[in-house]
Amino acid sequence: MLSPNLAQQLKSAGLEWQLNNNDFFHIPDRGFDDKVFVVTDMTVLVEELHGNLAVTFHGIVEWALDHVLVNELVWLPSESQLREELEKNLVGEPEPSLTLISTADGYRCEICFKEKFLAFEGFGVSDVYATALLYVLKNK
């Protein structure tokens, strides 16, 4: 999963989020730094009941945080969402404009952007897609 730090950089660079079910997000500056949330139409919790772990379903969550505005959240896009956003931002570039290659140390994402061949390397696919997308968003 993409780190909240890299996701925040994408948000700051202009990546817009259209909320969908099963999207992951982070709530910064609220004491939830180690938590990842998911958009869902049902609250599902893992709780201990009578000494056993159980998945429980709740209509509402009764906790101190009543609401958070979407613009305060940081979207943690999945690998496929990052690739889709990158492809959208590369429309009009010469073919092939996006290639993913497995390397000995992880992955390399190669793009053609503004007539330049660029490569981004990292351990995870999400990281290399996010780094390439961040470059594109900052250099549009």
Asked whether the predicted pLDDT for residue 18 surpasses 80, the reply is yes
Domain extents in the chain: 4-138
Q: Binning pLDDT at 50, 70 and 90, where does residue 45 land? A: low
- H or E element that contains 122: strand 116-122
Q: Which residues contact 77 (CB under 8 A, 6 or more apart)?
A: 2, 7, 10, 15, 17, 23, 24, 85, 126, 130
Percent of the residues in the chain that have a pLDDT greater than 70, as a whole number: 88
The DSSP bridge pattern shows strands 24-26 and 37-38 to be antiparallel
Residue type, 120: F
In this predicted structure, what is the pLDDT of residue 7?
96
Residue 42 has pLDDT above 80, yes or no: no
- What mean pLDDT comes out for the span 111-136? 96
User: Residue 36 pLDDT > 70, yes or no?
Assistant: yes
pLDDT of 58-76, one tens digit each?
A: 655 545 455 677 888 899 9
The two tokens of residue 21 are: 């079910």
Alpha carbon distances (Å) from 75 to 49, 56, 88, 91, 139: 32, 25, 17, 23, 21
Q: Say what the pLDDT of residue 64 is.
A: 47
Closest to 71 in 3D by CA, of 116, 17, 134, 121: 17
Residue 31: CB partners within 8 Å, gap ≥ 6? none
